[in-house]
Amino acid sequence: MSKHCSVEKNSECHFERAEGESRNLFLSRFLHFATLRVASVEMTVRLFNKASKHIRRSVWVALSYAILSFPCHSIYSYQNFDVAVYCRAQEVQQMDDPNWLKDRWDIIAQQVKVDKVYLETHRDTVLVDEKTITKARNFFESRGIKVAGGITYTVRESNRFETFCYTRPEHRQKAREIAEYTARLFDEVILDDFFFTNCKCESCIKAKGNKSWTRFRLDLMEEAARDLVVKPAKAVNPKVTMVIKYPNWYEHFQGLGYNLEAEPKIFDRIYTGTETRDPVYTDQHLQQYQSYLIFRFLENIKPGGNGGGWVDTGAIWYMDRYAEQLWLTLFAKAPEITLFDFSRMLQPIRQELRADWHGTQTSFDFDQMMQPIKQQDGTLVTPTTMARPAGYALELIDVFLGKLGKPIGVKSYKPYHSTGEDFLHNYLGMCGIPIDLVPEFPTDANMVFLAESAKFDDNIVDKIKGQLMNGKTVVITSGLLRTLQGRGIEDIVELRCTDRKDITNKFWQRRAFWGRLGNVHESSSKIVIPQIKYLTNDSWEEISCLTNGIGYPILHSADYANSKLYVLTIPDNFGDLYNLPAEVLTQIKEVLMRDLYVRVDSTSQVALFVYDNDTFIVESFLPDSVDIRIVTDRRISKLRDVLSGEAISGQELPGRRMWGQAASADKVVFNTQVKPHSYRVFQCE
Ligand SMILES: [Zn+2]
């Protein structure tokens, strides 16, 4: 069981409950399974008793997998995480009417099992009165649901997220009063996405003085967090747990005062906005992988103190996109998932979110989701609102989340308050490279990946040198190379990332030193890259692109001390990373992922989630089925599909030999497929 007992300050440990529920879940599924197949039970039992011990054991194992993966349409508590629903002040206000609340809550609770609600006291100058909050709290607590408070510090959300002004006395006074009021009513209080400032009033301009807006706002919000929120809250309720929830635009936090360095130390816990919505048609263009990466990044900033992930129902074009956000949050091991929000859980299920691939046994099956849900009293309820896709998506993954260990990946360092090649790590995640983003330089890691944001560390070149001296490998991007020119990188290797561009769709993967052996791979469309220049015989092209008779590095290496520095060329449009041919991605993975026990060779938009206990998940975000080649360390001879129970045998891949030396360690290869918008979960054997 991986339930985080320490997270909920005042709650009992859930271990016993979870183990009991695990048995109950198994039994209830078994009975469900059995009743549907009652006609064949007698015959099965007779055959079972006649079978040998070995066969009986095999049948039992297969039956266990079948039962665990059988669709369950009964409402039940999740074993591996808590589910919370956030209620905005506008809805909490209406909870004064018990019938209004009961009618709506019943619809939600029949479709998804909820452990906790957040009742917001303030948003957009709406302050809910104490009598209403007490009524609402009693309603939920009488149903065994935990209750916490919420605050949104907005003046008018619809006016481009108009925040409080933290230099004007009347706003500061109001912010303090709201914190005190909420902490008096609840022992846990979370701040929703808006504890930043975008105010540029005359008062703020004057207070800023000669500081940059970033520096001014970082300092201002650190002070506001301490003096206007946490200190006043703790003064009225010393028991209160104060939680700051961060939104999804982590590359730009510092510019609006979200202080990831100071605030996680001021607040008791942090929380993570893991919503990514549609990567193409929303303004933010966040990549799907971010729902996983940002939770891990914030967990690395406050280990054990990242209370959960938070997803809304907005801006999706097919239902899987909603489910994927929930899944990736929990693949990152979030102990709690917050569904935003009460009113959106009541939005009708739109039939147009059923995609072409539904009905083909993909992970999220729209038709299966729409099946009636069995309630505890035995009645059946037909799904009607968005609470059901949430409940269904969570039920699907709860059956295996407990088997996963601690997430691991390629260590990548992003200093506090840094930006540069914004959100790039998520594109690499979408190319199948698991990224573990950390706020301190990971000197222990054998492989470190650095994007342009690493330039915010004044000593970054010395840190790179230190790794290479110690025999460890560093991969930097062309963007970081460009900014480190003149800052000492030439002390490692004299390379120039120029202003000239190349437009290419051909990639040359050389297999022999003299360039006579190799393959040309083509991308589906042309991509634009910066031209990197180097000194002949000083550093080397590992992968090249070809255009009009010449070529430029895509992956470049340079010897230094006891190791190599690699430079990965990043296309001008990061989305063009998805156009790189699978063979080119494989060669990049061979370098970046050499310390992981598994990698997956495929086209892009197939992500890999790796855990430290020989389990991993492959998830495809493609609209069609995709062939994948799973490559593992030689010690692994078989893969078990955790959901189907199927065993997959591998073939040993001999080490590639170049110039008489083994170029890669011997590996084992498993060929299989992933369906559209689906995951597969594997256990190594
Ligand atoms: Zn202001």
Distance 259 CA to ligand 1 centre (A): 18
More confident residue, 512 or 27: 512
- pLDDT per residue as tens digits for the range 93-122: 999 999 999 999 999 999 999 999 999 999
384, 347 contact by CB (below 8 A): no
* pLDDT at 164 (0 to 100): 92
Assess whether the previous peptide bond of 341 is cis (omega < 30° from 0): yes
Distance 208 CA to ligand 1 centre (A): 10
Nearest to 643 by CA among 679, 593, 590: 679
Residue 373, strand partner residues: 381
pLDDT higher than threshold 60 for residue 652? yes
- pLDDT per residue as tens digits for the range 547-561: 888 899 999 999 999
* pLDDT at 346 (0 to 100): 98
Distance 171 CA to ligand 1 centre (A): 9
Distance 153 CA to ligand 1 centre (A): 14
Distance 172 CA to ligand 1 centre (A): 10
Distance 165 CA to ligand 1 centre (A): 4
Distance 498 CA to ligand 1 centre (A): 42
* pLDDT at 159 (0 to 100): 82
* pLDDT at 368 (0 to 100): 96
Distance 206 CA to ligand 1 centre (A): 9
How many residues are there in the chain? 685
310, 73 contact by CB (below 8 A): no
495-533 in b/e burial notation, b at 16+ Cβ within 10 A? bbbeeeebebbebbbbeeeeeeeeeebebeeebebbbbe
Distance 194 CA to ligand 1 centre (A): 15
* pLDDT at 653 (0 to 100): 78
**How many CA atoms lie less than 13 Å away from 193 in the CB half-sphere?**
19
Distance 187 CA to ligand 1 centre (A): 31
**Residue pointed to by tokens 């035995």:** 378
Residue 126 CB neighbours (<10 A): 15
Distance 180 CA to ligand 1 centre (A): 22
d(CA 229, CA 149): 14
* pLDDT at 421 (0 to 100): 98
* pLDDT at 465 (0 to 100): 98
Distance 200 CA to ligand 1 centre (A): 5
248-268 in b/e burial notation, b at 16+ Cβ within 10 A? bbbbebbbbbbbbebbbebbb
Is 111 strand, coil or helix?
coil
pLDDT higher than threshold 60 for residue 300? yes
Distance 166 CA to ligand 1 centre (A): 6
Distance 422 CA to ligand 1 centre (A): 27
pLDDT higher than threshold 90 for residue 392? yes
d(CA 684, CA 325): 26
d(CA 579, CA 22): 44
Distance of CA 43 to the CA centre of its chain: 46
Distance 173 CA to ligand 1 centre (A): 14
* pLDDT at 29 (0 to 100): 42
Distance 212 CA to ligand 1 centre (A): 15
d(CA 258, CA 254): 5
Q: State how beta strands 410-413 and 447-450 pair.
A: parallel
Distance 205 CA to ligand 1 centre (A): 7
**Greatest pairwise CA separation for the chain in angstroms:** 87
**How many CA atoms lie less than 13 Å away from 333 in the CB half-sphere?**
25
d(CA 652, CA 585): 21
Distance 253 CA to ligand 1 centre (A): 18
* pLDDT at 549 (0 to 100): 83
- pLDDT per residue as tens digits for the range 398-453: 999 999 999 999 999 999 999 999 999 999 999 999 999 999 999 999 999 999 99
- pLDDT per residue as tens digits for the range 32-91: 333 333 333 334 444 444 455 555 555 544 544 444 444 445 566 899 999 999 999 999
More confident residue, 3 or 525: 525
Distance 164 CA to ligand 1 centre (A): 8
Distance 203 CA to ligand 1 centre (A): 5
Distance 270 CA to ligand 1 centre (A): 26
More confident residue, 29 or 486: 486
- pLDDT per residue as tens digits for the range 631-646: 999 999 999 999 999 9
* pLDDT at 517 (0 to 100): 78
Among 163-172, 221-230, 653-662, 672-681, the range scoring the smallest mean pLDDT is 653-662
49, 632 contact by CB (below 8 A): no
Mean pLDDT over each residue of the chain, to the nearest integer: 89
More confident residue, 370 or 15: 370
Segment 269-274 mean pLDDT: 98
More confident residue, 42 or 376: 376
Q: What is the 3-state secondary structure (H, E, C) of 363-421?
A: CCCHHHHCCCEECCCCCEECCCECHHHHHHHHHHHHHHHCCCCCEECEEEECCCCCCCC
Among 13-17, 28-32, 193-197, the range scoring the smallest mean pLDDT is 13-17
d(CA 527, CA 552): 13
* pLDDT at 194 (0 to 100): 93
d(CA 193, CA 45): 56
d(CA 590, CA 594): 6
d(CA 223, CA 220): 5
Residue 671, strand partner residues: 629
